[in-house]
Structure 1
Amino acid sequence: MKRISNYHTFAAAALLFLSSCNDGFLEKYPETEIGQESFFNNEQDLNLASLRLYDFPSVGGYYISDAVTDNAWTTGSAELKNMMVSTPSAESLTSGWDWEKVRNCNFFLENFRRAAVSEQRLNHYEGLGRFFRARAYVEKVKRYSDVPWIEQTVSTDNEGILFAARDPRELVVGKILEDYDFAINNIDETAPNGAVNRWVAKADYARFLLYEGTFRKYHPELNLTSSADALLQRAVEVAQDVITNGGFFIHNTGNPREDYGSLFFNTNLFAVGEIIFARDYAHELLNGDVWDTSDGVFGNYEVFPVKDLVQAYLMEDGSFYSAQPNYAQNEFVDEFKNRDPRMYQTLAYPGWELVRSGTYLQGSGLYVQQLAKNFSGYHQIKGLYNTTNLQERNNIDLPLYRFAETLLIYAEAKAELGQLTQGDLDISVNMLRARAGMPGMTLNPPVDPVQAAKFPNVSSPQRAEILEIRRERRIELAFEGFRHDDLMRWEVGKLLEKEPQGIYFSRLGQHDLNGDGVPDIILLPASESIPAQRETNSLGVPFIYYRVGTFANPDVSVFLSSPTSGNVQVVENAGTFETPKYYYRPIPQSQIQLNPNLGDQLFGW
């Protein structure tokens, strides 16, 4: 049985103790005064108080992370999806203006030095406080760009802060960088499993430096383009430090059909050299499986993969899938032939066996898609705990920072600066391709016209390299929560106007979906009814019937792009992405009314 670390046992108790301390931005609660007077006395107090700052994703991260991107779509409600098909305003977009995380960090930073511990230990805890404050402000900058910088605990009598104006993005980011720099120089290099150490802070810092550097480069409305390269150069430096000195390595046992996928179905990620940081779960103590992931992660509830991601994977010989004759008309079985092995470890493929069926209508066994209105026909297996063993499912850890991401940060920042060498590729991108059994990337690679059309604004002299590094990032990090931010920082939100699509059917009639050469389903025209007595295929298995049609005829089982053939249709109209407006969010109008000093809304809001 897996044993969770003492740190997590302590953490679970600490979080229960602190659960009464949640506060709003304007609230001053009695526990604050108690804490100031009697709590920050020793290192145990500091450790307990620092746990309140932890805000990392937990189980379910694979399920919602890439929704409303060109990787995945959702039938549920999502902010950006709703914005694109409606008329959003500062009155309707009211979430996000929450300052509890910042307040918690500032409260900790104002009080931690009361403890009787060494200066070195105090610096470690200051580093933790500033690390989490930086993370909290990163989310504010991403959403609003200009926000008030607050570095003290706010209560109702702090009118100077309560009625403060926005600070410019450049100032706020400067403060964020100061917090990160202190953190990476003072947090302990080692820590118990599940606790933040210096390498976690550096990985997070490099992530933000790449984000902000490329965001400034590709968003002229900020008027900060001239400062982009300095941030990208710093991203290179921090990522290189992790590469050179962190002791991490890409998990590779020489089995390209399993090594990648095993990272997301692992009960002891802290023993894997690629993992910089993870959520550590243990059965009946801190369960890693809190819902039916066969419906959630698998893509049979709201969120599901779409065709654009499927078409992004290279062929196994390294050539472009888009170079295959009539590639867009390949049916499901043919789509998966001779592709990058990571595709088979991310998406359910012909011949894959479903063990944990949950409420999946088709049940366990050889995978056959369950088609339904507004679903793509593709299913996700990355992060799917495909076992009926509850104890094993509850022990599965969640990777949060992988060395693979740091390698991709390094390569992308280098290419954006026009500094990428073959040696850089060999220690970054090609480490990931080697694990997958894929040919290595070289300088001056051929340009895929499909990829180039997605990113017409790439300005680096190493444009061809950037296009392939972006592909590599998409494939390696699929469903880990990066794609939305990537599309936003690259200033390609317009890609989301393309209606997401599902699998392709060339005709009505019988189709083989599991790759055994025997048809599994029958597509009927909208004018026909599903027979009460179903035929069986040559294996004696009853056919699954679907009535198909277009959005013009909603009384069908599956929508296609034409009445008798085409791609499965997910949504009739994805809407409009307004630029630069939708790269940001407005401050809720209610907050402007409370504090007129916040000023006018930015970027068309």
Structure 2
Amino acid sequence: MKNILKLLILSSIFTLTSCEDFLDKIPLDTVSEASFYQNASDLQAAVNGFYNDLPGWASLGVGYNILPDSNTDMGLTEDPSNRLSGLSYDVPSSANASTWSWDEVREVNWLIDHLDQASASSGSEQTLIDQYSGEAYFFRAYYYFELLTRYGDLPIFAEYFDNNDTEYVFAGRDPRNEVVDFMLSDLDKAISLMQSFPEISGHPRISKEVAQLFKARVALYEGTWEKYHNGTPFGVAGSDGTRFLQIAASAAEAVMNSGVFSLHGDYSSLFNQVGLSGNSEVMLWRDFNSVTLGIANVLQKSWPNRCGYTKFAVDSYLAADGLPTAISAVDGSNKDLNTIEIGRDPRLAALIMVPGDVVEVRDGVTTVWEYPNFNDANTGNTGYESQKYRNVNYVAAFNDFTEDTSKIIFRYAEALLIFAEAKAELGTITQTDLNKSINLLRARVNMPGITLGAIVTDPNWPNYGHTLTPIIYEVRRERTVELMAEGFRDDDLYRWRAHTLFDGDQPRGAFYNDGVVNTISITTPVDSDGFLLPFSNFGNYNFDETKAYLNPLPLDELQLNPNLTQNPGWE
């Protein structure tokens, strides 16, 4: 455990500058349970290491950065090794860092078990002790959520244990709804202990509002999972998810009612910033600083980052008049990159590159985008390259684009979307609910709001495999376009039990013969309508709904612990 503490302390030095003097207080070779966790500074140093596990951008050494959602039906990479494709249904033989790993839970449990060792010399220090204690509980819920989305039922480990604690070593799996209750209890503790965002010095740090939003995210996931998997081997007997949906709506509304956050005025500029401390919408983010901290990312240096969006992603955007493109006067055929954004939801223009978009501004000279980069190995070959996250300004200090683009982890818009979805799934949503949630998101981009009871039927509403109300269709559309390429899509498809949407299908790219895409001669085949089939070498999506909604437990774990059971379909 002493080695774990050393790693946490070291990682905190490189993550947050507030701990620069920690090495002067306790020599690393003398760190022990007795000498550590004595005050707020000790707890801060310990909890800082967990921040490294939050999402970020790939470092310069990686060479490129796969954009979020690029391994779903919304985006592709040059190597479509994703869960939807079903490229491999092998059960792993042994656990490792990415399969059935409990290292992070055990580490945070060690910290939680020792929180009561810290004592305060003043009221202000007690506030900090409470803050860092709350962060520890947040991270335990965070790690459990990652495991829940992969495996479902999990053993509940409420304290640290070692190899001699046979009660834990040979623990069975607790039902997923009990696991979620455990997570929500941790988040309630975090909420009760942590400061509100404006009270925290030294951002970015997790705040009370972040814990509330994460509570809403977890509860929405479980509520919709139980609703749409009800009656299947993956569901929870006797539960339709209502209780968790109510929790989700309440937790999201708490963030909304706090008055701490508001929507940033310009949607497109949210995602390409260096430093986000002054942004009214961003609740938690990850900064990169290649000069001061030596932490740099490759995001801006490797466009198009071996990624491309799919036709289905582009089809999701309404016409600017608020109507589905199938019934609007706007051309929704998506057959010409020159005109594809005209008369459409402005968030589409913030997503994809079209001729005339800026690629670089250097020494007063502006370079514009002309056609997709099919000849570069760093593309997903869909023809729809990403505008989202691009920072086009040349930076003299790097003799290139910036290496310091921040990564948004939590933003206020998600609270509005969770609130609306939970209420829609419960069947209790009102016009007032829409006006204070989704309609604010639409107003930001000058799109007409939703009028409950007057929703126009879209003949191209996605087939999720379930009969849905018009408001649920539109709430899902809003979530899809607002959070496009932000890392939510995979979880959404799984909690909605949406395999009908993609299974047996082949993702499509841009229309080829439009005078833009076909500027470059390529070998990628097209479908009968002339749209690219970049996935053709791998075949159609092959998703086995009898097993693929959850990952299998490694074989050696089942052999070592007879109290563990395999997930459905993998037996």
Closer, same or farther in 2 for the Cα pair 1:470/1:277, shift >3 Å? same
User: Which residue of 2 is the match for residue 419 of structure 1?
Assistant: 428
User: Which residue of 1 is the match for residue 10 of structure 2?
Assistant: none
User: Which residue of 1 is the match for residue 66 of structure 2?
Assistant: 63
Aligned counterparts, 1:352-501, within 5 A? 352-355=357-360, 364-371=367-374, 375-389=381-395, 393-444=402-453, 445-451=455-461, 453-459=462-468, 463-497=469-503, 498-501=505-508
Task: State the shift of 1:207 in Å.
Answer: 1.0
CA contact (8 A) 2:275 2:405 kept: yes
The two structures have a TM-score, normalised by structure 1, of 0.80
User: Which residue of 2 is the match for residue 39 of structure 1?
Assistant: 36
User: Which residue of 1 is the match for residue 144 of structure 2?
Assistant: 137
SS of 1:52's partner is helix
User: Which residue of 2 is the match for residue 53 of structure 1?
Assistant: 50
Instruction: Give 5+ residue unaligned stretches, structure 2.
Output: 1-12, 60-64
- Residues 315-349 of structure 1: CA deviation (Å, up to 9, x unaligned): 11111123358844623223222111111111112
CA contact (8 A) 2:525 2:533 kept: yes
Task: State the shift of 1:202 in Å.
Answer: 0.9
User: Which residue of 1 is the match for residue 220 of structure 2?
Assistant: 210
Closer, same or farther in 2 for the Cα pair 1:393/1:348, shift >3 Å? same
Closer, same or farther in 2 for the Cα pair 1:334/1:211, shift >3 Å? same
CA contact (8 A) 1:267 1:395 kept: yes
User: Which residue of 2 is the match for residue 28 of structure 1?
Assistant: none
Task: State the shift of 1:293 in Å.
Answer: 3.1
- Residues 118-174 of structure 1: CA deviation (Å, up to 9, x unaligned): 666544333222111011111111111111111222222122211211122122122
1:233 paired to 2:246: yes
Task: State the shift of 1:214 in Å.
Answer: 0.7
User: Which residue of 2 is the match for residue 24 of structure 1?
Assistant: none
Q: Equivalent pairs: percent with the same residue?
A: 30
After the TM superposition, which of the residue ranges 367-376 and 380-389 deviates more from structure 2?
Answer: 367-376
Give the length in aligned residue pairs: 527
CA contact (8 A) 2:180 2:218 kept: no
Task: State the shift of 1:419 in Å.
Answer: 1.2
- Residues 74-122 of structure 1: CA deviation (Å, up to 9, x unaligned): 222534156x134432449963211111011100011121112266654
User: Which residue of 1 is the match for residue 190 of structure 2?
Assistant: 183
CA contact (8 A) 1:219 1:225 kept: no
CA distance in 2, matches of 1:338, 1:365: 22
CA contact (8 A) 1:164 1:597 kept: yes
SS of 2:410's partner is strand
What code does the residue aligned with 1:99 have? W
- Residues 347-387 of structure 1: CA deviation (Å, up to 9, x unaligned): 11232121179xxxxx9534322235961111001112222
Task: State the shift of 1:310 in Å.
Answer: 0.7
- Residues 367-408 of structure 1: CA deviation (Å, up to 9, x unaligned): 322235961111001112222216572343222111111111
Instruction: Give 5+ residue unaligned stretches, structure 1.
Output: 21-30, 253-258, 358-362, 514-520, 524-543, 548-556
Closer, same or farther in 2 for the Cα pair 1:227/1:327, shift >3 Å? closer
Closer, same or farther in 2 for the Cα pair 1:236/1:501, shift >3 Å? same
Task: State the shift of 1:15 in Å.
Answer: 11
Q: Identify which of 75, 82, 85 aligns with 2:87.
A: 85
User: Which residue of 2 is the match for residue 322 of structure 1?
Assistant: 326
State the 4+ residue runs in structure 1 displaced beyond 6 angstroms: 12-18
What code does the residue aligned with 1:208 have? V
Task: State the shift of 1:422 in Å.
Answer: 1.1
User: Which residue of 2 is the match for residue 265 of structure 1?
Assistant: 272
CA distance in 2, matches of 1:182, 1:227: 26
What code does the residue aligned with 1:9 have? T
Task: State the shift of 1:545 in Å.
Answer: 4.6
Closer, same or farther in 2 for the Cα pair 1:423/1:390, shift >3 Å? farther
CA distance in 2, matches of 1:78, 1:6: 32
SS of 1:130's partner is helix
Closer, same or farther in 2 for the Cα pair 1:49/1:150, shift >3 Å? same
Q: Identify which of 173, 189, 196 aligns with 2:206.
A: 196
CA contact (8 A) 2:300 2:403 kept: no
SS of 1:36's partner is coil
User: Which residue of 2 is the match for residue 25 of structure 1?
Assistant: none
Closer, same or farther in 2 for the Cα pair 1:224/1:367, shift >3 Å? farther
CA distance in 2, matches of 1:218, 1:264: 32
CA distance in 1, matches of 2:464, 2:521: 37
CA distance in 1, matches of 2:23, 2:252: 32
User: Which residue of 2 is the match for residue 360 of structure 1?
Assistant: none
The two structures have a TM-score, normalised by structure 2, of 0.85
1:512 paired to 2:515: yes
Closer, same or farther in 2 for the Cα pair 1:160/1:503, shift >3 Å? same
User: Which residue of 2 is the match for residue 552 of structure 1?
Assistant: none
Aligned counterparts, 1:281-360, within 5 A? 281-286=288-293, 289-291=296-298, 293-295=300-302, 298-301=303-306, 303-323=307-327, 327-328=332-333, 330-355=335-360
Task: State the shift of 1:446 in Å.
Answer: 1.2
User: Which residue of 2 is the match for residue 115 of structure 1?
Assistant: 118
Closer, same or farther in 2 for the Cα pair 1:53/1:560, shift >3 Å? same
What code does the residue aligned with 2:304 have? G
User: Which residue of 1 is the match for residue 6 of structure 2?
Assistant: none
CA distance in 2, matches of 1:454, 1:601: 27
CA distance in 1, matches of 2:23, 2:259: 30
CA distance in 1, matches of 2:305, 2:17: 34
CA contact (8 A) 2:438 2:478 kept: yes
CA distance in 2, matches of 1:289, 1:344: 28
Task: State the shift of 1:597 in Å.
Answer: 1.8
User: Which residue of 2 is the match for residue 10 of structure 1?
Assistant: 18
User: Which residue of 2 is the match for residue 578 of structure 1?
Assistant: 544
Question: How much is the aligned-residue C-alpha RMSD, in angstroms?
Answer: 3.0
Closer, same or farther in 2 for the Cα pair 1:14/1:432, shift >3 Å? farther
What code does the residue aligned with 1:317 have? D
User: Which residue of 2 is the match for residue 591 of structure 1?
Assistant: 557
Task: State the shift of 1:466 in Å.
Answer: 1.1
Structure having the higher Rg:
1
SS of 1:400's partner is strand
CA contact (8 A) 1:300 1:379 kept: no
What code does the residue aligned with 1:48 have? A
1:127 paired to 2:134: yes
CA distance in 2, matches of 1:574, 1:13: 55
